[in-house]
Amino acid sequence: MDVDAGHGAALGRALPTSSPGDLTLSQRLRSLLSFPGGDDDPVSVLTRTHRSIHPSADAAVLRRSYAIAENMHRGQMRKSGDPYITHPLAVAQICAELGMDTTTLVAALLHDTVEDTSYTLEALHGDFGPEVTHLVDGVTKFDKAFYGKIAEAETIRKMIVAAGKDVRVLVIKLADRLHNMRTLDARSPASRARIATATLDVLVPLCDRLGIQALKRDLDDVVLYHLEPDAYARIAEHVQNRPGWTDYLADVSAKARVALRRQRVSADVHARPRHFYSIWKDTVSGGHSVPFDLPRIAVVVDGPETDCYAALGAIHGRWRPVAGRFKDFIASPKNNLYRSLHTTVTGPDGRLVEVLIRTETMHRYSEYGVATGYRYPKVAETADPAGDQLTWLRRVLEWQQETDAAQFLASLRCDLAEAQITIFARGHAFELPGGSTPVDLAYELSPQTGDSCLAATINGRLAPLSSQLRDGDVVEIFSENDGHVEVEPGAPRGPRREWLGFVKSSQAQLQINKYFDDKNEPGISIADKVRLGRATIGLTLRKHDRGLASEVPLRRLAEEIGYPDLETMLVAVCERNLDPDAVVEQLIALVDHPD
Ligand code: MN
């Protein structure tokens, strides 16, 4: 893992790797200049945080990646006037606090080098290997100059594709956005609102879907700060001035502990304050004129899942539950696999208190979601719910092969939308977008069931296929393949175009469109062929663990092998007149050995 002399030279400056003594000295000097009063090692806080969770982690590689990042970004400034390196360092710190592994922190330190400096993916690959390269490439934006308006959508798609292979890409992207959002103050109100809205649009729901609540709370709050500064200030004021609040929570917790002990439930009880955004949401949705915020405690049981119900019994036995406020997310987990029992009781002094009940494992997954396995590598449970979160990601990836970037982004938004309903069919629960119909469910069951769907019953009654389902409905789908449905000979088969008028889920829309596309084979436009050719090259590169941050080498190759322009070459790849493996081999040779 030593820095390659060749790449070092490409950085334009000698890297401080010749002797460890020099490294310390140069860092000492630098820290005196840019970190007045701080520690003499700029990565010491990062290393300390990282080691507090992963005691045997390699700090040298962090120092080395910091040195390269610092060197590459030297002279660049943030809008705030801070040296640019403060940003990747802060992003790595956020990842460290989440408990991510060393590779993630290295990639976080280097995440903007390829996009914003002369450091190339090839140099990165030589210096840090394929994993870090994949992570950095995954968060590197597409060039606006080349992709134009579609660059943003293409960038999100690329990131999701990269995350399908390694979900750490998304963790870095979310940490990156969080720090950017925290440092927006130097920008105009209009651009702050634009960035905050964009964050709310895709990244926050994505973070929620991946179950990383620890990160989502921070993102939520910083979005609120930029979009609703007055509301944010009011809630901050409210949180700071709650007379007797702390004492009350201590009293409730102590009494809850006694009640639990009496029922022989071993559990940790602590206050669990809501974050600002969650207070704001309840205030607005309840139409309250002052911030609405109930005291809340968490009961983390030290035992099996069934102990949660024993704990619930102990709490409900002590204080009267409020009707309609009990929710069992253990029996029916949320679509991000969040699991807990929620209840509200009339606590001491007749005040309402919210109670969350969960096991230690549920608690970890509810905080860290897909990142849990990185924070707690030794306790990677056999039944890892994070695996299911990745199943969702993989399904999203299936659509992206069928659609262009703009359509993909629309589908992703729809699938991430918060309003979801739970439908029961074939003995299982299914999450569908609000307003879904039996056809949506049929496609959720399988594409074949969707294509051959004929009729449906909702709660035992025959209903039109276009009926809007409601939360909790029990639905049965009848299809041609069931055998017990009589199909008239000559009756139309397969999906109907009309279905496109009422289906809600991306899955159903895509499958129905696909059915008709396959049947009619409408002519593919040149633009589609170019796009498919580019995607093919991208996928082939990925097989070699490589990516392409810029189109320049591809253009040069097109020229070299005799195509009038890149687009013509991409069409040839799409039509298989040109073998993508051969193109990629030549491309890699061209990049690695430019002469
Ligand atoms: Mn960044």
> pLDDT (tens digit, 9 = 90+) per residue, 552-561?
888 888 888 8
Higher pLDDT, 118 or 422: 118
Distance 336 CA to ligand 1 centre (A): 26
Between the CA of 173 and the centroid of ligand 1 the distance, in Å, is: 8
In whole angstroms, give the CA distance from residue 507 to residue 448: 12
Q: How many angstroms separate the alpha carbon of residue 473 from the centre of ligand 1? A: 45
Helical packing angle, 44-53 and 59-73, nearest 10°: 150
pTM here is 0.72
Which range of 149-163, 451-465, 541-555 scores highest in mean pLDDT? It is 451-465
Distance CA 27, CA 20 (A): 11
Q: Is the pLDDT of residue 371 over 60?
A: yes
Of 271 and 430, more confident: 271
pLDDT number for residue 553: 84
* Residue 333: pLDDT over 90: no
Read off the pLDDT of each residue in 503-508 and give the average, rounded to a whole number: 84
Q: Which pLDDT value is given to residue 490? A: 53
Distance 88 CA to ligand 1 centre (A): 6
Ligand 1 mean position, distance from CA 547 (Å): 18
How far apart (Å, rounded) are the C-alpha atoms in residues 88 and 372?
22
Please tell me which residue, 531 or 294, carries the higher pLDDT value.
Answer: 294
Q: Give, in order, the Cα–Cα distances in Å from 31 to each of 62, 84, 266, 319.
A: 16, 15, 49, 57
- As a whole number of angstroms, the distance between CA 381 and CA 388 comes to 13
Q: Give me the mean pLDDT over the 128-140 stretch.
A: 93
Q: Give the CATH fold of the 24-227 domain.
A: Hypothetical protein af1432 (1.10.3210)
Higher pLDDT, 539 or 103: 103
Task: Tell me what pLDDT residue 595 has.
Answer: 61
Average pLDDT over residues 243-254: 94
Contact 65, 110 (CB under 8 A): yes
**Model confidence at 531, in pLDDT bands (50, 70, 90)?**
confident
CB 485, CB 395: distance < 8 Å: no
Q: How far is the CA of 468 from the centre of ligand 1 (A)?
A: 43
Q: How far is the CA of 121 from the centre of ligand 1 (A)?
A: 16
**pLDDT of 183 over the 70 cut:** yes
Here the tokens at position 51 are 């080691």
Q: For residue 316, what are the contacts with CB-CB under 8 A and spacing of at least 6?
A: 343, 345
The alpha carbon of 174 and the centre of ligand 1 are apart by a number of angstroms equal to: 10
Ligand 1 center–CA 327 separation, angstroms: 39
Of residues 580 and 132, more confidently modeled: 132
Q: Which residue has the higher pLDDT, 461 or 394?
A: 461
Average pLDDT, the chain: 84
Name the band, by pLDDT with cuts 50, 70 and 90, for residue 237. very high
Nearest to 371 by CA among 179, 158, 169: 169
Best-predicted range by mean pLDDT (6-10, 11-15, 137-141, 259-263): 259-263
**What confidence tens digit (pLDDT) does each residue in 55-107 have?**
999 999 999 999 999 999 999 999 888 999 999 999 999 999 999 999 999 99
Kindly list the protein residues that place their beta carbon closer than 5 angstroms to ligand 1, a single-atom ion.
Answer: 112, 176
Is 494:447 a contact under the CB 8 Å cutoff?
A: no
Find the helix or strand (DSSP H, E) in which 454 lies: strand 453-458
Q: Are strands 428-433 and 420-425 parallel, antiparallel or unpaired?
A: antiparallel
What pLDDT is attached to residue 13? 33
Position 75, amino acid: G
Residue 485 to residue 303: CA distance in whole angstroms: 49
Q: Which amino acid is at 504?
A: K
**Exposed e or buried b per residue across 430-441, where buried means at least 16 C-beta atoms within 10 angstroms of its C-beta:** bbbbeebbbbbb
- Determine the Cα–Cα distance for residues 400 and 467; give it in Å rounded to an integer: 28
pLDDT at 24 over 80: no
The label of the residue with tokens 């590169």 reads 541
Q: How many angstroms separate the Cα of 190 from the Cα of each of 90, 120, 181, 266?
A: 25, 33, 14, 52
Six token digits for residue 100: 């991510």
The pLDDT, as a whole number, for residue 31 is: 45
Q: Which amino acid is at 39?
A: D
Q: Is a pLDDT exceeding 50 seen at residue 5?
A: no
In this prediction, residue 439 carries a pLDDT of 94
Beta strands in 280-405 (DSSP E): 296-301, 327-328, 341-346, 352-359
SS3 409: helix
| Domain range summary for the chain, segments of one domain joined by + | 24-227, 243-382, 391-516, 526-592
- Residue in 117, 24, 122 with CA at minimum distance from that of residue 68: 117
Provide the β-strand partners of residue 268.
300
CA 343 from chain centre, in angstroms, equals 28
Q: Which of 368, 81, 334 is nearest to 214 (CA)?
A: 368
Tell me the average pLDDT across 347-356: 95
List active site positions: 115-116
- Output the CATH code of domain 391-516: 3.10.20.30
Q: Report residue 3's pLDDT band, with 50, 70 and 90 as the boundaries.
A: very low
Q: Which two tokens stand for residue 277?
A: 């955004």
Given a cut of 70, whether residue 203 has pLDDT beyond it is yes
Q: pLDDT tens for residues 314-330?
A: 999 999 999 989 999 89
C-alpha angle 307-313-317 in degrees, rounded to nearest 5: 150
Cα 112 to middle of ligand 1, angstroms: 5
pLDDT band at 431 (very low <50, low <70, confident <90, very high): confident
Distance 26 CA to ligand 1 centre (A): 25
pLDDT of residue 334: 78
- Phi and psi (nearest 5°) for 502? -130, -15
Give me the residues paired with residue 423 across strands.
430
DSSP string, 266-296: -EEEEE-PPPHHHHHHHHHHTT-SS-----E
Q: How far is the CA of 111 from the centre of ligand 1 (A)?
A: 6
Confidence of residue 535 (pLDDT cuts 50, 70, 90): confident
CATH of domain 243-382: 3.30.460.10
Q: What residues does 458 pair with on adjacent strands?
A: 461, 475
Q: Is 323 helix (H, G, I), strand (E, B) or coil?
A: coil
